[in-house]
Structure 1
Amino acid sequence: MKYRQSRKNSIKEGGWWSVQNGCGDNYLTAFFELLGLKASTISFISTFPVLFGSLIQTFILKKFFFKRSKKKTLIILCAIQGLCWPALIISAYINNTFLLVTLIMVVYYSVVSAQDPPWRAWMGSIVPKPIRGKYFGIRLSISGIVLLFSIAIAGAILENFSSSDAYLGFVIIFSLAFIGRIVSIRYWNRMFEPKTSDDNQLLDSSNFDQDQTVYLKFLTLYQFSVNIIVPLWPVYFLRDIDFSYAEYSYILVSGNLIGILSHYFWGKFIDRFDSLFTTFLGGWIMAFLPLLWYFLFYLDPEFKLPYSIILFSIASFAASGANLGLNNWVLDIHEDKNIIAFSTKMVKYRGVAIFLGGITGGGLTLLEVPKITTAIPIGTSIHYAIFISSFMRLITMLSLSSLVNNRTKNDY
């Protein structure tokens, strides 16, 4: 009974987390754009804190939370994360905005990274393997519905204030993000934490078997290739394509709607086949998408929004499969006793990959746009990042897809 109730509370917690994500995380880059930061600077702010957080998360867990339960650890970390939203609101009034925003984001992603290992271990202990695909599919679907409404409401608020006081719009949506995170703590507190013999999990994460090595290799290459362009999408849409906040929110909402509808499908797909095959299938679909965004720049204005909505919806469908597959894959290849150790290492690899991808993409935006007509037209420096991201995604999938044929029947 305790396990079932905890799973229900976890779904409710995920819903309130989605309020934070929809009103906060989804508009962070748009906030940086409002502050007038360059594309390369935005890439740095979006990725360096992730790198720093991934590298320091083991220290945070060992130094401050090693003797605490997973529940207490997550409650404290979530509270710190929530307080970062009012800090961001204040940051725009400080002279050295860049340094303060970077510092806040470093704290934000440090506690976010530190949440990952205990969360995976806790969820792995209360969600049996036979129902993980279905459960996480349902959890993501419900969270996604809340996320959808949160993004739409936040977009409407920003559009309403865009002509008078755009900053006030961000004050309102970041306040909603703060409320969402703080309320979610209530449901963490209601969940049951089983006792596990994982006291020394954080001490040894050096030895990986073949399955774990394959996972880390794919995760690293996948995150690197994707994050060459991901931090730059809001800049591309808002500056280069000149979408309004409302049009930008339409794209986010439509894509997330497809993501929501596909979560249950992907969850059942994982239970029928396996996590590895699902991850690679979603990854292959995503490999070809960046090049299609290149053509958006040259479309007639009346076609740009519907084209973006359709393309982002396809991307969300593929990303839902890849990400749900990744989340279940890491649970499938571990027993409860070593999930924290591997997760801490996994977060580090992911953080390094995200940072290197972001720096690569940001660096590419510093290249000059040719003033003369070239064989492949370059309308904005972000097109360089689009081409390189697409190339690296193809390299990633070609180098690793051969593993699918050998492992689709394995029981991870």
Structure 2
Amino acid sequence: MRGIVKMRLFNKRRKTSQQRRHLTIATLEGVPSVIFQTLLGGQFLTGFLLYLGANSEQIGFVLAITTFVNIAQLAVAFLIQRLNSRKWPLVFFVGMHRLLWGFTGLVPFLFSQDKWVQAFIVFYVAAFLFNTVGAVLWNSTISDMVPPKVRGRYFGIRNTMLNALGTLFMFLGGMILDHYPGSQGFLYLYIIIWICITANIIVFFFYPDIPFERSTESKFIPMLKKPLRDSSFMKPTLFLASFLFLQNLVVPLYSYVMLELLHINYQTISLINVTQTVFMMASFYVWGNLNARYSNRRLLFWTLPVIATSILLWGTLSIFPLLPILFTAQMIFGVGVGGFNQLAFNFMIGDTPKSERPMYTAMYSAITGVASFFGPLIGGKVYGWIDHWPNWTQIYGMQLVVGIIMILLMMSLGRRILRDT
């Protein structure tokens, strides 16, 4: 009898130890990942594209394409059912995504100046095509690595830690570009980026190869129909997609407005974005604790008025000083979008059947990806159309219109669709 009890205790300790090791690896992997993604995104992405000679429409396309390619995740979710192992395909596709994204820094060395923007877009699109596969594999793997009971708090703590690091490098990156403007500054950024890309790929070799529960369907169409027939999943997904479409009409182009129209320097923009990230970090822990008491759907609804308010605040630039409004708007946006992203992820991996999770997450990514694609694409075109209009229409006019529509959508449909079931 004692031997059986000891064996059970040993197995329990072994399982706990293994889970902790998995969580540690997932956290360590995020360290170099958040650094290079910070330096390759946001105002640095916009700034590099402006340096290469891109216009507002091309910037809008680049910001949008990363989400549009998520449509391919539907096919990926079906094909991974035939894999015997998720680990090595994960390492390959994630590695290719990182490498191709890093190759964008080589564009000025490999191509003539008139081809810079086109070459950047080719590398960028190729990178995120590989990422569509890697994202499905990572979501599937991480949902098995993190026990359901600790998901809310673990991702809250993980996101807080990693975003603190991202905040530091966002500020350092802004300082580098202000001190070394142009090609020299971007060269220094890409040196840091390549070091982090290499470290990130290496850590993925230590990811566990966890067996996964396959779908009960063996054919693509029946598997595809599973999430489509689940109204408790599809209604929130379609609503959130419409909200993301509106959000992405203006938010991805904030850096363009600040750099080109308001003529704010990189260091100040970095400080504004650092402020957003600090408030996002603080919100992760709060949203994670609230998630232990309230459902993903209810909390997702609570994030919507926060995001809409942050966008509406841009309209007050007509009567209040510039920088205080931008800082305040980004603080509020950080709280809202931090909660939204964290809870949407928990909704994907927590409110869906385990055996069908790859297709559910792929469906969510595809639908929201299409909406997020057309948002900045149309937003970029609108900025081109209204280029000759009064300056205020470009700086905060669009934000006012979008914010009002978001409030109306939230009050009319959001309450009904995101209520607890």
- Judge same fold: TM > 0.5, yes or no: yes
Among candidates 305, 326, 345, match of residue 327 of structure 1? 345
Change (3 A) 1:144 1:368: closer
Distance 1:161 1:183 in 2: 26
Q: Structure 2: which 5+ residue stretches go unaligned?
A: 1-16
Matched, 1:206 2:217: no
Q: How far 1:336 moved relative to its partner?
A: 2.0
Among candidates 139, 154, 174, match of residue 120 of structure 1? 139
Matched ranges for 1:211-230 at <5 A: 211-230=232-251
Among candidates 303, 313, 317, match of residue 296 of structure 1? 317
Change (3 A) 1:297 1:185: farther
Change (3 A) 1:123 1:43: same
The answer (yes or no) to whether the contact 2:272–2:327 under 8 Å persists in 1 is yes
Among candidates 318, 323, 332, match of residue 336 of structure 2? 318
2:127 aligned partner: 108
Change (3 A) 1:285 1:325: same
Distance 2:86 2:240 in 1: 25
Change (3 A) 1:196 1:202: farther
2:22 aligned partner: 6
Among candidates 58, 64, 69, match of residue 47 of structure 1? 64
2:197 aligned partner: 181
Q: How far 1:229 moved relative to its partner?
A: 0.8
Partner secondary structure for residue 37 of structure 1: coil
2:235 corresponds to which letter in structure 1? Answer: V
Q: How far 1:144 moved relative to its partner?
A: 0.9
The answer (yes or no) to whether the contact 1:58–1:114 under 8 Å persists in 2 is no
Among candidates 350, 363, 376, match of residue 345 of structure 1? 363
Q: Deviations over 1:194-214 (max 9, x none)?
A: 212326689312223122112
The answer (yes or no) to whether the contact 1:39–1:365 under 8 Å persists in 2 is yes
1:397 aligned partner: 410
Q: Percent identity?
A: 19
1:194 aligned partner: 210
Matched, 1:308 2:326: yes
1:374 aligned partner: none
The Cα RMSD (Å) is 2.4
Distance 2:316 2:55 in 1: 23
Change (3 A) 1:161 1:201: farther
Matched, 1:381 2:402: no
1:108 corresponds to which letter in structure 2? Answer: A
The answer (yes or no) to whether the contact 2:244–2:372 under 8 Å persists in 1 is yes
The answer (yes or no) to whether the contact 1:12–1:187 under 8 Å persists in 2 is yes
Change (3 A) 1:168 1:66: farther
Distance 1:288 1:223 in 2: 15
Q: Deviations over 1:133-160 (max 9, x none)?
A: 1111011011111111111111111111
Partner secondary structure for residue 293 of structure 1: helix
Deviates more, 1:254-263 or 1:286-295: 286-295
1:284 aligned partner: 305
Partner secondary structure for residue 225 of structure 2: coil
2:60 corresponds to which letter in structure 1? Answer: S
1:256 aligned partner: 277
Deviates more, 1:389-398 or 1:219-228: 389-398
2:243 corresponds to which letter in structure 1? Answer: Y
Rg comparison, structure with higher value: 2
2:7 aligned partner: none
The answer (yes or no) to whether the contact 2:73–2:362 under 8 Å persists in 1 is yes
Q: How far 1:64 moved relative to its partner?
A: 8.9
1:89 aligned partner: 105
Among candidates 86, 89, 97, match of residue 70 of structure 1? 86
Matched, 1:155 2:174: yes
2:378 corresponds to which letter in structure 1? Answer: T
Question: What TM-score, normalized by structure 1, do the two folds share?
Answer: 0.88
Deviates more, 1:266-275 or 1:383-392: 383-392
Among candidates 21, 27, 32, match of residue 49 of structure 2? 32
Distance 1:86 1:187 in 2: 17
Change (3 A) 1:58 1:313: same
Among candidates 159, 167, 170, match of residue 186 of structure 2? 170
Distance 1:227 1:403 in 2: 23
Q: Structure 1: which 5+ residue stretches go unaligned?
A: 372-376
Distance 1:378 1:31 in 2: 24
Distance 2:209 2:309 in 1: 42
Deviates more, 1:357-366 or 1:381-390: 381-390
Matched, 1:364 2:371: no
Q: Deviations over 1:86-110 (max 9, x none)?
A: 4212223423122212111211222
The answer (yes or no) to whether the contact 2:239–2:414 under 8 Å persists in 1 is no
Q: Deviations over 1:54-104 (max 9, x none)?
A: 133445676799535222122112211221244212223423122212111
Aligned structure 1 segments of 4 or more residues deviating by more than 4 angstroms: 58-66, 199-202
Distance 1:117 1:186 in 2: 20
Distance 2:286 2:208 in 1: 29
The answer (yes or no) to whether the contact 2:242–2:371 under 8 Å persists in 1 is yes
1:327 corresponds to which letter in structure 2? Answer: F
Q: How far 1:260 moved relative to its partner?
A: 1.1
- Tell me which protein shows more helix as a share of its residues: 2
